[in-house]
Amino acid sequence: MLSCKSKSGLWIYCLIFVTVSSGEDDIIFERSISIRAPQYNANRDISDTLAYYPADGNWSGQFIMNPGDAMLMSFKMPSDGVIKGINIPVYEWGTGDQELTVSVHKLQYPYDINDEEYPNLMVGNNGWIGGYDMDSTGTLYISGNVYTPGGTQGICDPSDFLTMNITDPLLVAEPGVGPPDVPPQGVVWPDSDNVVLMTPQTHPDYITSGNLNNWIDLQDFGDEYQFECYEWIGILFQYTGDGGGDNDKVGFFYEEGEGVVNTRPFLKFYDDCGGTSGNGGWHIRHWMIRIEMAVEITSDRPPVFNEVCPLPTTYLTSDRTACIFLLDDNPGGGPAGVDSVFFMYALDSTSGTWNSIEMYLVEGDSIDGQWECTVPGQPTGISVFWYIKFSDVGNSSCYSYFSTISYSYSIFQVEHEMLFISNQNRFGTWITNYYLYGGTYYNSYDIWDINWGIPNASLLSEYKYIIEVTMDDPVDLTVSDSLMTSGFFDDDSSGYVLTGENWIQLPVEYTTYTAGDFEYDILGLAGAESLHNWNNPWASDAKFRFIPIATDPISGDLYYFLGDSLDLNYDPNYELGFSANLKKLYPINENSISMYSITGALDSLDMPTNDDTAAVAIHRELPSGAKVVFLGYDPLSLNTSPLYFWIGISLVGTLTKALDWLHRGSVSIDPAISMPEKFRLHHNYPNPFNPITNIHYELHKNTEVKITIYDVLGRVVRKLVNGKQVSGKHKVMWNGTNDLGQPVSAGVYFYKMEAGDVVKTRKMVLLK
């Protein structure tokens, strides 16, 4: 919430909700953009109450709509006041007839028919809350005569049912009167004589013109809307154009709402059967779309918090300090100041038993100050759920107490002999399941998220084996300091694997390491330099040819797996979405090299551009007997050509073989490397998807393979694979098009694999 001053001298508040990144059905691509919040005829005067939307200052695009879809951002108003204007930045307009119809509604959402708030578990697949006049095809409408009751079975996807007691999120006791194409439920703006339209001509987008200011003055289309404290208001924008052309999607800025707001503020209405549940209609989503409002506060508002000190998961069992920064400026008049603040915590979030700790002012004053308290420590393995509540000196006209969202943290517990340190921010810790997919070490480790802080030497000394994965951008480079002081490398049975492109930072063209450096003493490096300096045809999608070594314990099995027919590629852009940034390693002992790379990136035909090689992975045994492996690349990003195998999740992958070497010492190389034991067809990922998904399957012998896409009527949509393939793990991508290359409509599809006498079929859902 921004405190601003308008040209007329009125204090206004601009509620800012935004949106961000990756792996979601409605997201076309990820693009982080640092943008300063625009101003609505105003200058910012105080710090931003909602500064954590987004926390890193980056907004991303784009979250999409298709023709017939609608989006609704809901706002809980902080006090009495007047809405002066709204801003709907468009990330990118599509093609064809592009038109959005905009309206403001008083909402029933987030409450159901019994005035009980929807739980946060109702989201995504479980967040389907219906629509009007469901027909025989499963189509739902944004307004109509009969709202589909709770408990109704889906027609598009019969495995889904509407939750009981759902109701129209726009429904209020007295429907308003709005213009054509605007649902009458709860409409408060514009009036019936005005239609508010947005088009590429009237409201340019960001991607082509850099425009972020699509401000609409409510007075231009009717009366400004006067709201009451804690009233729920929704900004609704519908794709009422017909679309058409090459790509008729329209995209918006978005941010993750999980862990940011307790009540999910964003709903999307899906046309046809395109929703996350596999059905159409309203769906509660966990994202937030960037929408802004300028409002004039006319009464006392409650205190607002600029920051809550994080309490991440910790290995410490001692007391902790909690803090919050509170502001109570009361622009609408009345006495200002915070009266009391309490830290509320529970050890069981479902019991309803909450403990209260009073917080005290430690800096500033009751109008603008920092409050703290001491939170009792807990034993290992305990989870703590908490929030902070506070009261207003003037007993705001809303309620006596206000609160932050709920948070939680855990006291870390050692359960396994191996620790996986996720030293990256690109993915959540769930990515660890891919690094050790299906092998001996799958789920046989503890996970430490580097965002919890650097694990101290005492914790690290509890482990026999440690994996540190940094991908392309390590969050912190000082884990090595804790390792050096922990005594970890003094144990002759310990083992350490470090992976990632940029763990080695190179401020100059070439770096030398000497005794006393972690790189020299532990990794066994005399120096390193960037392959950027080797005249590569550098590009974001560059990939490199890797060369394993037949006698090496880390890459030997991979050497025999490739044989004479397969090439090994390092392709991080394809597998994980980041650019290759390899380093040439200069080991102290040349015999420790585990993998080479051709120094030049591959050309458009996947051929090397030179014959020079560089070491990119090494292994060694320390004088103490401890074993160390350094993979100067991301091991998930390995694949093969001309036949595709995702080596990153294979049992012959270099991370798995590195762990084999740590655990067993000498590892015998098997020239007859084992293949899958039987045919397997895995679930596609992601699912639901829009518009790309990947299908993984395994063959235990060379055979003819067919993979075919069918629609719900059994008609052939696309033949993805039709020919003889070698044994092993395979992946094929479907981009939502038919055999003519034309995009198909949203809905349920089936993919069938025929391999020899084996036939397997699975279901997937394409969203739009």
In a domain, 673, yes or no: no
In a domain, 75, yes or no: yes
Instruction: Check residue 111 and give its pLDDT.
Output: 94
Asked if 128 and 244 sit in the same domain, the reply is yes
Amino acid at 45: D
Asked if 656 and 698 sit in the same domain, the reply is no
Strand order in the sheet with 680-681: 680-681, 693-699, 728-734
Residue 357 CB-density burial (10 A; 0-12 exposed, 13-18 middle, 19+ buried): middle
Q: What percent of the chain has pLDDT over 70?
A: 87
Asked if 645 and 517 sit in the same domain, the reply is yes
Instruction: Check residue 676 and give its pLDDT.
Output: 57
In a domain, 672, yes or no: no
Q: What percent of the chain has pLDDT over 90?
A: 49
**Radius of gyration over every alpha carbon of the chain, rounded to an integer in angstroms:** 29
Output b/e per residue, 294-313; b: 16+ Cβ within 10 A.
Answer: bbbbbbbbbbbbbebeebeb
Instruction: Check residue 392 and give its pLDDT.
Output: 85
Strand-pair category, 225-227 with 287-289: unpaired
Residue 342, pLDDT above cutoff 50: yes
Among the candidates 297, 329, 349, a domain finishes at: 297
Asked if 380 and 424 sit in the same domain, the reply is no
Instruction: Check residue 291 and give its pLDDT.
Output: 87
Instruction: Check residue 32 and give its pLDDT.
Output: 35
- Cα angle value 92/95/97 (rounded, 5°): 110
Over residues 400-413, the pLDDT tens digits come to 778 887 889 999 99
Query: Residues 132, 147: contact at Cβ < 8 Å?
Result: yes
pTM, 2 dp: 0.65
Asked if 168 and 277 sit in the same domain, the reply is yes
Give, in order, the Cα–Cα distances in Å from 705 to each of 4, 34, 666, 680, 697: 64, 47, 38, 12, 11
> Which of left, alpha, beta for 237 (phi over 0: left; psi -120 to 50: alpha)?
beta
In a domain, 670, yes or no: no
Asked if 287 and 311 sit in the same domain, the reply is no
Which has the higher per-residue pLDDT, 519 or 668? Answer: 519
Instruction: Check residue 42 and give its pLDDT.
Output: 27
In a domain, 207, yes or no: yes
3-state helix, strand, coil in the chain (%, to 5): 10, 35, 55
Instruction: Check residue 239 and give its pLDDT.
Output: 96
Asked if 376 and 430 sit in the same domain, the reply is no
Rounded mean pLDDT, 69-86: 88
Domain at 758, CATH number: 2.60.40.4070
Which has the higher per-residue pLDDT, 768 or 167? Answer: 167
Asked if 283 and 326 sit in the same domain, the reply is no
Give, in order, the Cα–Cα distances in Å from 319 to each of 304, 411, 451, 453: 27, 11, 20, 17
Q: Report how far Cα 426 is from the mean position of its chain's Cα atoms.
A: 8
Instruction: Check residue 609 and give its pLDDT.
Output: 79
Instruction: Check residue 5 and give its pLDDT.
Output: 25
Asked if 51 and 198 sit in the same domain, the reply is yes
3 state DSSP class of 655:
helix
Query: In whole angstroms, what is the distance from residue 437 CA to residue 36 CA?
Result: 41
Asked if 617 and 739 sit in the same domain, the reply is no
Q: What are phi and psi of 488, to 5 degrees?
A: -55, -40
Over residues 164-175, the pLDDT tens digits come to 999 999 987 666
User: What residue ranges in 347-436 does DSSP mark as E strands?
Assistant: 355-358, 360-364, 368-375, 383-392, 401-403, 407-410, 418-422
Strand-pair category, 465-469 with 418-422: parallel
In a domain, 687, yes or no: yes
Strand-pair category, 70-76 with 58-65: unpaired
Query: Residues 463, 432: contact at Cβ < 8 Å?
Result: no
Over residues 494-543, the pLDDT tens digits come to 999 999 999 998 877 789 999 999 999 999 999 999 875 444 445 667 89
Asked if 111 and 217 sit in the same domain, the reply is yes
Identify the CA nearest to 67 among candidates 270, 350, 208.
Answer: 270
- The token pair at 512 is 């030398």
Instruction: pLDDT band for 666, please (50, 70, 90 cuts).
Output: low
Domain at 340, CATH number: 2.60.40.10
Among the candidates 599, 633, 664, a domain finishes at: 664
3 state DSSP class of 592:
helix
Among the candidates 624, 639, 664, a domain finishes at: 664
Query: In whole angstroms, what is the distance from residue 340 CA to residue 208 CA?
Result: 49
Query: In whole angstroms, what is the distance from residue 702 CA to residue 674 CA?
Result: 13
Instruction: Check residue 398 and give its pLDDT.
Output: 66
With a CB cutoff of 8 Å and minimum separation 6, the contacts of 752 are 706, 707, 708, 710, 759, 760, 761
Strand-pair category, 583-587 with 593-598: unpaired
Strand-pair category, 728-734 with 747-755: unpaired
Asked if 272 and 344 sit in the same domain, the reply is no
Overall number of domains in the chain: 4
Which has the higher per-residue pLDDT, 537 or 232? Answer: 232
Instruction: pLDDT band for 397, please (50, 70, 90 cuts).
Output: low
Over residues 594-610, the pLDDT tens digits come to 999 988 888 888 888 77
In a domain, 674, yes or no: no
**What range does the domain containing 168 cover?**
2-297
In a domain, 243, yes or no: yes
